Structure 1
Amino acid sequence: MRSNFNAGMLRHRLLCNRAYLAVPASLIGICFCLYSSLVLAEADNSEYLTDTPLEELLSKEVVTASRIAKQISDSPSAVSIVTAKDIQSYGYRTLAEIISSMRGLNTVSDHVYTYMSGRGFGRPGDYPGRVMLLIDGHQANDNLYNASYLSHDGILDTELIERVEYVSGPGSVSHGNGAFYGIINIVTKKGSDFDGAQLAVDAASHQTYKERITYGTQFDNGADILLSASTLRSQGRNLYFRDFDSPSTNFGVARNLDDEKNRRLFFKGHYEAWSLESAYVTRKKDDPAASYEADFNTHPSYMQDANGYVTLRHEDDISNQLKRALKIYYGQYNYSAEAIYSDGYYREKNTGRWWGTEAKFVYSGLDQHRLVYGLEYRNDYQQDFYLPSDDIEHSAYMVSAYIQDEYRLNDHWLLNAGIRADHGGHHAKNLSPRLAAIYSPTAALDIKASYATAFRKANAYEKYYGDGSTIIPDSHLDKEMVYAAELVFEYRPDSSSKWMSSLFHYTTKDLIKSEEVMSPAGAERFINVDRSKTRGIDFEYDKQWSKSSRLKASYAWQLATDDHDKWLANSPKHLAKLNIAHGLFGNRLHAGIEVQYVGSRLTEARDRLSGYTLTNLTLHSTTLIKNTTISASVKNLFNQRYSVPAPTFYLPDRFVQDKSNVWFQLSYDFK
């Protein structure tokens, strides 16, 4: 038997065997040849990466906070957006890279999974994360661990993303369970954004290669479809871990244990009032650091994930004053893992299945009011863990009703009040209220004040997973609660710039954490033990000088402590980000430079890790060859050596992260 959750806490998702797409290696080399002749190219009239005027960006409608489209200035929360142009400008290849660029957010990797933190809370290895992830309004978290998948295990290629919206603060009125510290909504592109086929090939450090083919179009009858498939493979590196530095464990070197493979499929279709969307990803990743006390530097040692969903929507106007949106969805998640222990071979497979439906209405028939109300039902009909010691099978459900009223008092005041009731059994009952007021003394200034609560019920892994000897289940775990107050200032001095600042205070109760129990000796279980509070302030500035020159900067100070006023692990007090995009050589070449500072923080062992500064550089051109985009990125440009806190299910308390690495991409549009 293993201690500390052993391999049992390992997680999996089935990997389906499919053939890789074959891509001639010669295509990769084209990137280098094209750049050598860059200055000879003539500029054309194509749209550049930073062409979106800031005024247009500020007037974009967000759907995250209330599930109804609204302008950013009318949202009761602070809203940050990363656009498709930003993604191309700064060479973001994963959702984790996008999130790490956003105000007050941070990610860390344990060489298998990537974990997100927000509002000062980001316990290492904490699968739920507590910032809800949506894709076109569909919740992307699985139903076993409630985890978000942010790296190459994520369900979307970044080239399919139109924008990413981050709304800080609780969102339980609109989204219920899990919308704890904020909501991230990914808005995907339409077929008309591609208007034909696109083929892309990538090559990167550590023998990493990726191929993608995408087709999108809009037909004469208005129907729009988007299809995409991609595959990635990476050999990785031989990684060194000082905690295993002994002759019996290969002097701390995990050899040939950083391999990664994934495959993705995506479909999106829209016709009149109907829309259908489906996505699927499989990912297999070696575990070089021997989690859960597995034997170090042994094969096999990996985790696999398969994640997918299908959602069907119908939206129409019942009358001029009443809009209706109906949705039904299905999701599935599979996980498997294999590892070697001194007393034998370990294998685990876990499966999650769920479906749900929602009916939402928007009524504007009352003078100066807009009512949003609806019903939602979710059935997690399969939450199964198949362990060598036992098979654990469970299910759950959630019934929800919500209503929200936006009251336009006058030209200067907008009031927002809402409440949601969720019922999913004894420990999943909750009422989530929200109150907000927006004061606009001038057209350029908005002041927003809000108070809200949110909850997160214990997930299936926390409640039911157990082998009876190293981890003990507790089906009576209570829900976590957060009580949040925020004050937001937004100032737009002109059409090309925006200032934003927010003050916040969060109190979180009944946080779920694993603790050692008295009997059996050495075993652990999840309990409601922690209480924390976070207070802080953040700033964001956005400026666009021209179609090819833009700057975005943000800074966050946050102090997260437990009920003994001790600083929480993996909670940097300072986060600063700077992004600059600029056209060069008459806009024949575009450069994007990104600088991120992450302050010092504690490991779970209470050791302090130094802060660090990362610089990333991306160059891209859309004009060298017709219908062709060439991009090259250098991540960690100055080869900064830094470490991040490790989860408690690893022997090391910190992991050294990647040094400088490069990524090249060539894409061609068939039009």
Structure 2
Amino acid sequence: MKWFRWIGIIFLFGCSSIFAGNGNETENKTIGVISGRVTEENSGAPLAYANVAVAGTILGAVSDAEGFFKIIKVPQGIYTIVATYIGYEKKALDNVKVKTGETTHIEVRLAVSEITSEEIVVSATRKETTANLAPASVGVITAEEMQKKNISTFDQAIESAPSVQLTRSSGSNVQAVSIRGSSEVAGAGVGNRVLLLIDGRPALSPESGGALWNLVPTNSIERIEVVKGAYSSLYGSSAMGGVINVITKNPSPVAVTRIHTEDGFYEKAPGWTGYDAYNAFNTIEVAHSRRVGNLSYLIEAGHRHNDGHRQNTEFDMINLYGKTAYHFANNKNLQLAMNYNHVANDYPATWLSFLQPYHVAPAKLDNRQKRSEFSTDLYYYSIPTSELKYSSRFYYYTNNSEYTFWKDSSRMGNERIRQTSINNHRIGNVTQFDYYMSERHYMISGMEMQLDFVDARPANTLYGKHTAYNVAAYSQDEIKLSDRLTTTFGLRYDYNKIVDGYGEGNFSPKVSTVYEIQKDWSVRALVAQAFRNPSIAERYIKYEQGGNLHFHQNPNLKSEKLYASFEVGTKFKITDFTSYDISLFWNEYKNMIAYIADTAVAYQGYYKVVNLNRARMRGVEASIHVFYKQYLNASAGYTLLDARDISKDAGTRDVGYTSGNHDLPYKAKHSFNFNIDAGYEPVSLNLNGRYNSAIREVSIYPGSEPDAFFVLNGKLSVEFVPKCSVYIAVQNITNTQYEEIERYRMPGRSYMIGWSIQF
């Protein structure tokens, strides 16, 4: 079996380098301990959750609620200790001596910083690095930023990130998430080319290759990392356009309880629409965390109800999340996390007409869907020496979707089947070794395995029962060629197999370089290849109810290829209070999956799913960040995207052919976003907005292309007492009437009032 041999070669190559330098038994006999406390320089107050690291090693610790920390298994020697904390200046303590069998005590005093600290990211390299030195464009959205913006659902959290474009049919249905134009919309979320990770594990649905984006619980998020570009070399299939990694919160070392409630309503639709319903919504979230001895835990629960802003958009959502961690001695840690999400909602439908965008056809009014998902993962990591880290994550994911059509038989529509259901299960493991070979050489090597089970009923209409597996190995070598120049080489091999069906292997190489011209100015370059395996739905779909479309199955559908991806960029500061990020990208795709009419039986509504299209997506991305102490934090981003169909027969099947329009469907050429946080205790104000230019090409309803739109949101908060605040917020302040996908009107102006408390 050739695929097994390739996986073994890559994995063993990485591991051999790791274990080759891990045979020094003397080191275990010549170790000591570094302990101390992190405090604020002026007040002397302890700083909890500060990061303390031993430079030149993989060792480190996080301070507890009283600021104390302990780093064990430190080899005898002289070190530099580096401490970082958000909002404070980084501190380095030189010449810290460690002696065998002894504890070295240090005091770390951090000064408040007038400028924003460097963001630390893990998704771009599968290890911690500063965003300034990441080999790709990386955006970070923190829990604090989400709170200031009044984020309710996950799609709202990522919609303002530069180069991220969402297409939604309702508040509970995300059709597609695209980075730099990568994803399709016509498949209603099937075959997404952006990979969703939760704490580093894949969170895509096995049958569709898409994600239930709106079900990600926002209350449990610590931060979101948006990595743009081809990243199959680390993460495998679907990481063609980029990776969105959700980093969840860890349990608190002290008892903490948080409560948040919100109520709101939509302004009535314009009178000319004929829709005059009053629709409201509400949210309640509760969380509790604490530590008892070596065991810590976090429990969160949330409920959202929304009447919907137009017909067939009502939903009711429940989120439950829990995480527990046990801290062993000797740099070992075990974590168990569980998440359950459920949403019951109206099945979204297109508008009744251009003059009635808030109404749907009467036959669609009682169509419903229920979706639920459950995931759990067990994560273990160990740092046996100052150079080696081992981690392994076992995970299980399942989701269930039920669709009911024309429940009222008097409203029977064009759907020929009354009820369908899809059940998915996925089990997997990701195991990784990190080896800090020297201050100039860092290597990781890992293996990933997945097993998927899909059961879509009725089998003669949907996909039936299928089993698939994917096995992969990857290795990455980061070499610091000089104090300023770092080069990274990465390679991954995946083998994907439908049991009793088609199998295919894919190599994903990557080479990147980062050159630090000076402390606050770096340039980067990335060259890579990526791929996406076809989903079960794309291979075996037989009938699509919404459009009454029939499909000829294509079990031998091949993977899509991003065969050439290039990016060059730079990050720099002109002053201490401004930072800039500019990048140019060029992506060449082939074997892109397309839905085409079967000319032999086209009059009967038959279609085929084939590897057909070639595409080119290129553009420029620029962002600016302005900050001043705790009073102002502002950012803005702009993306210019040129997304073209460059297939041999490009344009012959689209509406723009006669005018030479070869634009790919649903791609906005210009997009802009901004965010402003301003505050002077106890008052804070947020303004944020986004602009998308008009869509020139669609594939579902030609002639109904969405126009350009600009949406502005605002929130005013007052913290009357510490950790207790009230707020008012307005979404879509200008009451813009717009669509992200044709014939699905998005919400107009809405008003919210809420409060939160922590004790």
* Shorter-chain TM-score range: 0.7 to 0.9
Matched, 1:138 2:201: yes
Q: Say yes or no: does 1:183 pair with 2:272.
A: no
Who is 2:402 aligned against?
336
Q: Is 2:277 the partner of 1:218? A: no
Q: 2:458 aligns with which of 387, 391, 394?
A: 387
The residue aligned with 1:657 is 746
Aligned counterparts of 2:114 and 2:391: Cα–Cα separation in 1: 29
1:608-635, Cα deviation, whole Å (9 max, x unpaired): 43212111001112x2145422222211
Partner of 1:304: 370
Q: 1:370-385 counterparts in 2 under 5 A?
A: 370-380=442-452, 382-385=453-456
Report the residue type matching 2:213 in the other structure. Answer: L
Deviation at 1:436, TM superposition (A): 0.6
Task: Work out whether 1:450 is the aligned partner of 2:526.
Answer: yes
1:234-383 aligned within 5 A: 234-239=306-311, 257-272=312-327, 273-289=333-349, 296-340=362-406, 341-342=412-413, 346-365=418-437, 368-380=440-452, 382-383=453-454
| CA–CA separation in structure 1 for the residues paired with 2:636 and 2:87 | 17
**Contact 2:313–2:345 (CA under 8 A) maintained in structure 1:** yes
Partner of 1:609: 706
Change in 2 beyond 3 A, CA 1:415/1:288: closer
Instruction: Give yes or no for contact 2:263–2:754 (8 Å, CA) kept in 1.
Output: yes
Distance of aligned partners of 1:121 and 1:403 in 2 relative to their CA distance in 1, 3 Å threshold: closer
Among candidates 617, 624, 631, match of residue 720 of structure 2: 624
Change over 3 Å in CA distance of 1:454–1:633 after alignment to 2: same
Decide whether the 8 Å contact of 1:398 with 1:424 is kept in 2: yes
2:636 to 550, 553, 570: 553
Distance 1:319 1:334, change over 3 A: same
SS at match of 1:644: coil
Deviation at 1:301, TM superposition (A): 0.2
Aligned to 1:441: 517
Residues 109/467 of structure 1: CA separation in 2 closer, same or farther (3 Å cut): closer
Partner residue of 1:587 out of 674, 681, 684? 681
Give CA deviations for 1:306-365 in whole Å, capped at 9, x if unaligned: 112111111111322211111111110111101124476510011110101122001122
Match in the other structure for 2:619: 536
Q: Residue deviations 1:289-318, cap 9 Å, x none?
A: 169xx9744453012211121111111113
Tell me if 1:67 matches 2:129. no
Name the SS for the 2:132 alignment partner: helix
CA deviation vs aligned residue, 1:465-499 (integer Å, no higher than 9, x gap) = 22598222211110001121000100033443211
Task: Assess, with a 3 A threshold, how the Cα gap between structure 1 residues 388 and 435 changes in structure 2: closer, same or farther.
Answer: closer
Identity %: 21
Q: CA deviation at 1:367?
A: 6.2
* Alignment equivalent of 1:147, drawn from 192, 204, 210: 210
Q: How far apart in 2 are the matches of 1:361 and 1:354? A: 24
> 5+ unaligned residues in a row in structure 1: which ranges?
1-45, 240-256, 647-653
Quick one: distance in 2 between partners of 1:393 and 1:625?
57
Deviations 1:120-161 (A, max 9, x none): 23432441331111111122211111212233xx131x2322
Q: Distance in 2 between matches of 1:553 and 1:472?
A: 46
Offset at residue 198 of structure 1 (A): 1.9
Residue type matched to 2:395 in 1? Y
CA distance in 2, matches of 1:594, 1:442: 32
- Provide the rounded CA distance (Å) in 1 between the counterparts of 2:364 and 2:691: 36
Equivalent AA in structure 1 for residue 673 of structure 2: K
Aligned to 1:614, the other structure's residue is in SS state: strand
Q: Which amino acid aligns with 1:322?
A: L
User: Helix, strand or coil: the match of 1:96?
Assistant: helix
Which AA in structure 2 matches 1:402? Y
Mean alpha-carbon deviation: is it higher for 123-132 or for 610-619?
123-132
Give the secondary structure class of the aligned counterpart of 1:355. Answer: strand
Decide whether the 8 Å contact of 1:639 with 1:660 is kept in 2: yes
**Shift of residue 224, structure 1, vs aligned partner:** 2.5
SS at match of 1:666: strand
Q: Deviation string for 1:507-543 (max 9, x for gaps)? A: 1111112222245531223211211101100111111
Partners of 2:142 and 2:560 in 1: CA distance: 33
Q: 1:595 to 1:105 in 2, by over 3 A?
A: same
SS of 1:59's equivalent in the other structure is coil
Contact 1:143–1:333 (Cα < 8 Å) also in 2: no
- Which letter does structure 1 place at the counterpart of 2:426? W
Maintained 8 Å contact 2:114/2:629: no
Amino acid at match of 1:108: T
CA contact (8 A) 1:448 1:487 kept: yes
Deviations 1:420-477 (A, max 9, x none): 0011235431000000111112112111001011110001111122259822221111
Determine the structure 1 residue equivalent to 2:140.
Answer: 81
Provide the C-alpha distance between the structure 1 equivalents of 2:420 and 2:468, rounded to a whole number of angstroms: 22
CA–CA distance in structure 1, aligned partners of residues 184 and 556 of structure 2? 22
Q: Is the 8 A contact 2:178 2:241 kept in 1?
A: no
Give the 3-state SS of the residue equivalent to 1:315 in structure 2: strand
Matched-pair contact (CA < 8 Å) for 1:399–1:423: yes
Post-superposition offset of 1:668: 2.4
Task: Write the distance in 1 (CA, Å) between the matches of 2:233 and 2:361.
Answer: 46
Q: Which runs of 5+ in 2 are unaligned?
A: 1-46, 49-85, 89-112, 266-278, 328-332, 352-359, 407-411, 651-660
Given the two structures, how large is their TM-score scaled by the length of structure 1? 0.83
Q: Secondary structure at the match of 1:146?
A: coil
CA contact (8 A) 1:108 1:644 kept: yes
Q: Secondary structure in 2 aligned to 1:657?
A: coil
Q: Work out the CA distance in 2 between the residues paired with 1:317 and 1:546.
A: 37
Equivalent AA in structure 2 for residue 429 of structure 1 = G
Q: 1:158-197 to 2 correspondence within 5 Å?
A: 158-192=218-252, 195-197=255-257
Q: Kindly tell me: are residues 298 and 97 of structure 1, through their superposed partners in 2, closer, same or farther at Cα, counting changes over 3 Å?
A: closer
Q: CA RMSD in A?
A: 2.4
Aligned residues of 1:194 and 1:215 also touching (Cα < 8 A): no
Q: 1:477 aligns with which of 548, 557, 563?
A: 557
* CA distance in 1: counterparts of 2:642 and 2:607, whole angstroms: 29
**Structure 1 CA distance, aligned partners of 2:439 and 2:673?**
43
Aligned positions of 1:379-528 closer than 5 A: 379-380=451-452, 382-387=453-458, 389=460, 392-425=464-497, 426-467=502-543, 470-482=550-562, 483-518=564-599, 520=601, 521-528=604-611
Q: How far is 1:57 from its partner?
A: 5.6
**Distance change (3 Å), C-alpha of 1:371 and 1:298:** closer
Contact conserved, 2:251 with 2:325, CA < 8 A, in 1?
A: no
Take 2:138 and 2:221, find their aligned partners in 1: how far apart are those partners?
17
Provide the secondary structure at the position in 2 that maps to 1:600. coil
Displacement after TM superposition at 1:259 (Å): 1.9
Distance verdict in 2 for CA 1:194–1:395, change over 3 Å: farther
1:386-436 alpha-carbon deviations (Å, 9 max, x no partner): 127457100100110111000000111100001000112354310000001
Match status 1:667 vs 2:756:
yes
| C-alpha separation in 1, matches of 2:254 and 2:690 | 32
Contact 1:58–1:72 (Cα < 8 Å) also in 2 = no
Count, aligned residues:
588
Q: Which amino acid aligns with 2:551?
A: I
User: Match of 2:596, SS?
Assistant: strand
